[in-house]
Amino acid sequence: MNENYIHIYNNLINYTRNKDLYKNLNRKDNFSDRLTLFLLHFSFFLKNYKNEKNKKILQEIYDFNFRQLELSIREIGYGDQSINKKMKDYINLFHSMVSEIHFWDDLTKSDKLKKISTFLPDFNNYEELLEYFDLFNVNLSKKTLNSYLKSVSNP
């Protein structure tokens, strides 16, 4: 396990554990909600650091994070067949997130709200979620990928 990548994974998990993200959920949160928020954070992370120079390392981070997610799904108790289906679903969800937020900075507020509501349909008050992810995106843009690789950032 690469220590550099575990820092990034743990940072994304810590962002996902932010209780304020769940206060507008229509019900008690579950693993799927947390995983969706994790994938959304990870999408913004990749969007901000994607360039030719970082291509190889981002692929390694991608592979590492999805290996960790698979282990988490196994720990929950899903069988091998279920894990393959779940991982395929989550990878497809992630790729749709990446493509939808690729031009995030150029989108109007209403377009951003539509995208957030598509990925988080059981949540209320998309305005707060939008504000959170806009701020998260700005904070990512102020840091270098290397800063995430070298230390543990505070969510």
Q: Is residue 76 part of a domain?
A: yes
Establish if 78 belongs to a structural domain: yes
pLDDT, tens digit, 9 for 90 and up, residues 42-101 = 999 999 999 999 999 999 999 999 999 988 888 887 777 788 888 899 999 999 999 999
**Residue numbers of the domain that contains 16:** 3-150
Assess if residue 38 is contained within a domain: yes
Measured in degrees and rounded to the nearest 5, phi and psi for residue 91 equal: -65, -40
Q: Is residue 155 situated within a structural domain?
A: no
Angle between helices 126-141 and 109-119 (to 10 degrees): 100
Q: 25 has which bridge partners?
A: 123
Question: For 13-40, how does the pLDDT look when each residue is reduced to its tens digit (9 = 90+)?
Answer: 999 999 999 998 888 988 889 999 999 9
| pTM of the model as a whole | 0.91
Q: How much is the pLDDT for 31?
A: 86
Number of domains in the chain: 1
Q: How far apart are CA 16 and CA 107, in angstroms?
A: 23
